[in-house]
Structure 1
Amino acid sequence: MDPIDQINPEILNATQGLLAQAETFIRSLLVPWRLYQLAGILALLGATWLLRGVVSRRLTAWARAQEGLPKWQLRMIVILDRNLTLMLFTLFSWITFWVMRQVTWPSRSQLIEVAASIGLALLTVSFAGRLIGNRFISRIVTLGAGIWVVALILGFDAGVLSFLDSLAVTFGNFRLSALTVIKALIVTGLLVAGARLMTRAATTRIKKNPDISPSMQVLAIKAVQLFLFGGAIFIGLKAVGFDLTGLAVLSGAIGVGLGFGLQKVVSNLVSGIIILLDKSIKPGDVISLGETFGWIERLGARYVSVVTRDGKEYLIPNEDLITGQVVNWSHSNDFVRLDLFFGTAYDDDPHLVRKLAVEAAGRVTRVLNDRPSVCHIIGFGDSSVDYILRFWIKDPTDGLTNIKGNVYLALWDIFKENNISIPFPQREVKLLAPSPQEMGKAAAFDQGQG
């Protein structure tokens, strides 16, 4: 049997039609004045390629010389650098087309106009694809849309559509073709890009609303993202004819999987919703969980990001914050009381020590003066009179260890100024004289050694 006879007739017919269109197009180019235009287009590509290196180096050097540029400007510079060849070719093509249109017949610049149109269309598709957040979907949409606009400009749109539609598989009554998949990706990608822009706008407005608490802002933003992106994907697939009734079976399978294999994941998701609703913690709060002390950077669906003073970022599962004991230093307000313990010698006046300790705390910048510090005697130790100094701060995010250290230094300085001593434990060692029996044993031992 001939291998050609084994090919699907639909694919064979579509391929033959596309090849026939390509043959007609190539023959139309084999005309002297069109060959001259092809040579001109190739010359424009070469000049663009040479000029691109010079422009790219200067653009990169200029960007590196700038300081403090926002991220969006740096991102735009990178995008411009990546599309520099296409931009220069499109610009030079349109300039050449305009000049030739003025000095010669329109037919002498027809192919250059086509090349310029293709360059402009591909440039538009490339920039539009950047609006899609997902890199994989962005590349697929950009590639599919680029092929489509080139085929449309060259007049191959009917043949390309027929060929892509012939590449199909059938599942019962459901037919899935390459054209359907590409359409779904393009339509869904565009809808996702629109949903992304709407999400950014909604996020900005929600964060600027002072009547919404930080935890409810996070919950509202997550709900908007779920609604817009989920709706975009659903509408995109439905618009190109995908049958979504099978999702009912899939959702049942997912439910079984959630019940058995994803218990921890579901628990963290539910815990995250509870945290957002009861407002027990919110972004910016200072918390302690075990040995972890830091402030909440963001609330996620599965975990909470806690940043410590040394720059480490801990991803704590939401379930741990619900079931474990959490110290929230700024739950109802930002005021935090700190305690310092110290001791002075018994010879020092305790009334003066207490006064000096309060004065020392007042010298430190971060200690609040509107909430007075206090100092109390808490006991008589073996070597010192023991005190506790209590003071208040309202910026725990700036650290606790450093403020304690500053207060200790202030105590040291003020005690030195007023001759207050900080004692250290002293021990007396008393050597007892040996008894006569022990002396006799020692003398007998020495005689035996001799």
Structure 2
Amino acid sequence: MDGTEQTIIEQEFESFAQAAWLRLQQVVAWFDANLLTVASAYQLVAIAVTLALAWLLHSRFKRLLQELGQGRKLAPAVQRLLRTVASISMPVVWVIFLALARTGFESAGMPIPFLRLVSSLLLAFIVINIISIFIASTYWSRVFSWVAWGAAALNAVGLLDVVIEWLQATALTVGAVEISAWSIVKALILAALLLWGANAVTGTVERRLEHTGKMSSALRLLVVRLLRLVLLTLAVIVAIAAVGIDLTAFAIFSGALGVGVGLALRRTFENLIASYSLLADESIKPGDVIEIETVSGPTYGQVRKMTTRYVAVMTRDGTETLIPNELLMSSPLTNWSHTAKPIRRRVPVGVAYSADIPLAQRLCVEAAGEVLRVLAHPEPRCLMRGFGDSAIDLELRFWINDPENGVANVTSDVLLLIWEKFQAHGIEVPFPQRDVTLRGPVRLDTPP
């Protein structure tokens, strides 16, 4: 920074200090002329009395609003409005009493600057709280409340114009572009409004698409994500343009910046692109039951959530495994409910060579049919697969249509019934046996 720019900044700061000092003198003079008077004392007494009355009666007013909302069938928006007004019943009742006090003072020809000031602040507080109910995020609702309340308070005491002038005077020049603090504030406010509008629009579209039975869940999620991406990008572009920055200036840095960001966030972009690919080809969608081999072992569970970075899978253990999207694209994956939910289970069963094989097959089919989760159509079947080393190898096949509830537990239930039926009918389930042949004479006794 050279001497000329420093001199300009010092002059701007000096002019701002002079304007602030002048405004402060005006405020002090206003207090001397209005506060230290009998009329101002009456106003302060009226404010205190109305506050006490509001404190005594706001609970009854709150109860009345709650009964009004519960006793009638009202729209959800009206119910939220009544709940919000009930939650701020204290300032609402206080404003009502202040309005009555102002009417009385005006009828008597008395000044009401303090009554008007307190009423304005309370009305701003009430309106801000009512508007904040339409902001879904608690964090952004609080940010909006504090910012709007601060602006309303500054406007009520006449300092809002001074603050805006100071923000406009505080500027930074970068080449041919001059950016002031006020333009940045306007851009942030505009960006916040546009982002809120983008989320509201995408939320509305998502709710409408949920009632459309012609579109799959993966396609709905893809449409919503693309719409949100476009709207958020437009919001950022409009906010940058509102500051006064020429967007063509970014073309100079786009090449090097793109390479740097691409290298630093390579995995992030891979997961982002993979998420859109998974949704576009509908290989995975929320509600599917999948099985994939991860670093910690095979993961089996139901897809609960799909984000731009990972897929959340709820396992049978009750834990939620987050699998990166690029891993789902590059690894073999079993989707148990990709095209249809019914799946076939194969359960090996071994019986002794002396057993009645047709009876054993019939008992296996009966055991499968007695389990509630096993489908009757296609009906269970039991096949003979071969002659094993120690048993006749049978295979029971049955179908289920709820793999999200687990497959190992239904297999266990079927095997338990098979065991009980085999025991009741005298069918032996053999254990592995080995014949040992001894070549040559062997002494079985041991020397002392």
Amino acid corresponding to residue 344 of structure 2 in structure 1: R
The aligned counterpart of 1:173 is 176
- SS of residue in 2 equivalent to 1:176: strand
Distance in 1 of aligned mates of 2:316 and 2:198: 37
Deviates more, 1:208-217 or 1:411-420: 411-420
Letter in 2 for 1:388: E
Which deviations, in whole Å up to 9, do the C-alpha atoms of 1:1-31 show, x marking residues without a partner? xxx9777233223323432442243234322
Change in Cα spacing, 1:128 to 1:80, as seen in structure 2 (3 Å) is: closer
What is the identity, as a one-letter code, of the residue corresponding to 2:30?
F
In structure 1, how many angstroms separate the alpha carbons of the residues matched to 2:139 and 2:402? 44
Aligned 1:195-274 pairs, distance under 5 A = 195-239=198-242, 241-274=244-277
The 1:47–1:94 alpha-carbon spacing in structure 2 relative to 1, beyond 3 Å, is closer
Q: 1:40 to 1:99 in 2, by over 3 A?
A: closer
Match of 2:30 in 1: 25
1:36 corresponds, among 28, 39, 42, to 42
- TM-superposed CA distance for 1:339, in Å, is 0.9
- Once the 2 structures are TM-superposed, how far is the Cα of residue 134 of structure 1 from its aligned partner? 6.4
1:8 corresponds to which of 8, 13, 25: 13
One-letter code aligned to 2:413: N
Aligned to 1:317: 324
1:98–1:233 distance in 2 versus 1, CA, 3 Å: farther
* CA distance 1:131–1:179, change in 2 (3 Å): farther
Cα distance in structure 1, aligned partners of 2:258 and 2:410: 51
Give yes or no for contact 1:296–1:306 (8 Å, CA) kept in 2. yes
Farther off after superposition, 219-228 or 247-256 = 247-256
Kindly report structure 1 stretches of 4+ aligned residues shifted beyond 4 Å. 4-7, 42-52, 129-141, 426-436
Cα distance between partner residues in 2 of 1:13 and 1:384? 102
3-state SS, counterpart of residue 311 of structure 1: coil
Partner of 1:160: 163
- Per mean C-alpha deviation after superposition, the further-off stretch among 357-366 and 250-259 is 250-259
State the one-letter code of the partner of 2:152: V
- Distance (Å, rounded) in 2 between the aligned partners of 1:258 and 1:240: 24
What secondary structure is seen at the aligned counterpart in 2 of 1:333?
coil
- What is the rounded CA distance, in whole Å, between the counterparts of 1:167 and 1:94 in structure 2? 41
SS of the counterpart of 1:376?
Answer: strand
The alpha-carbon deviation at position 136 of structure 1 amounts to: 6.4
Alpha-carbon distance change, 434 to 358 in structure 1, aligned in 2, over 3 angstroms:
closer
1:82-130 deviations in whole A, cap 9, x for unaligned? x95x651342132233155247536455522431221121232244346
C-alpha spacing 1:149/1:354, structure 2 compared with 1 (3 Å): same
The 8 Å contact of residues 342 and 401 in structure 2, kept in 1 or not, is answered as yes
Evaluate the alpha carbon distance shift between residue 245 and residue 314 of structure 1 in structure 2; reply closer, same or farther with a 3 A threshold. Answer: same
Map 1:318-337; keep pairs closer than 5 Å.
Answer: 318-337=325-344
Task: Go from structure 1 to structure 2 and tell me whether the alpha carbon gap of 1:279 and 1:354 turns closer, same or farther (over 3 Å shift).
Answer: same
RMSD of aligned alpha carbons? 3.7
1:120 aligns with 2:123: yes
Local SS of the residue matching 1:287:
strand
Give the residue type in structure 1 aligned to 2:19: A
Write the letter of the residue equivalent to 1:94: I
Q: 1:228 to 1:434 in 2, by over 3 A?
A: closer
Q: What does the per-residue CA deviation read over 1:402-430, in whole Å, with 9 as the maximum and x for residues that have no partner?
A: 11111112212322332323233456889
Which stretch has the larger CA shift, 366-375 or 240-249? 240-249
> Pairwise mapping of residues 62-211 of structure 1 onto structure 2 (< 5 A)?
84=87, 87-99=89-101, 101-102=103-104, 105=108, 107=110, 109-129=112-132, 131-132=134-135, 139-211=142-214
- What residue identity is the alignment partner of 1:34? S
Does the residue aligned with 1:423 lie in a helix, a strand or coil?
coil
Conservation of the 8 A alpha-carbon contact between 1:258 and 1:266: no
Contact 1:284 1:296 survives alignment (8 Å): yes
The alpha-carbon deviation at position 48 of structure 1 amounts to 6.7
The code of the aligned residue for 2:44 comes to L
> Conserved in 2, the CA contact under 8 Å of 1:238 and 1:244?
yes
1:68 — aligned with what? Answer: none
- In the TM superposition, what is the alpha-carbon distance from 1:131 to its structure 2 partner? 4.5
Name structure 1 gaps, 5 residues minimum. 63-71
Amino acid at match of 1:363: E
User: SS of 1:364's equivalent?
Assistant: coil
2:399 corresponds to 1:392: yes
Query: Matched residues in 1 for 2:277 and 2:290: separation?
Result: 17
What secondary structure, in the 3-state scheme, does the structure 2 residue paired with 1:8 have? helix
In 2, Cα distance between the equivalents of 1:242 and 1:11?
26
Structure 2 distance, partners of 1:233, 1:24, is 45
State the alpha-carbon separation in 2 of the partners of residues 20 and 89 from structure 1.
Answer: 32
345, 350, 364: which one aligns with 1:343: 350
Give secondary structure in 2 for the equivalent of 1:415. Answer: helix
Query: What's the offset of the Cα at 1:187?
Result: 2.4
Amino acid in the other structure paired with 2:90: L
Answer yes or no: is the 8 Å Cα contact 2:54–2:97 preserved in 1. no
Question: How many pairs are equivalent?
Answer: 420
Equivalent residue number for residue 411 of structure 2: 404
CA distance in 1, matches of 2:10, 2:233: 45
Q: Secondary structure at the match of 1:330?
A: coil
Quickly say closer, same or farther: Cα 1:237–1:27, change in 2 above 3 A: farther
Alignment partners' CA distance in 2, 1:427 and 1:170: 91
* Alpha carbons of structure 1 residues 242 and 135: separation in structure 2 relative to 1, 3 Å: farther
What is the TM-score normalised by the length of structure 2?
A: 0.81
Q: How far did residue 49 of structure 1 move?
A: 7.7
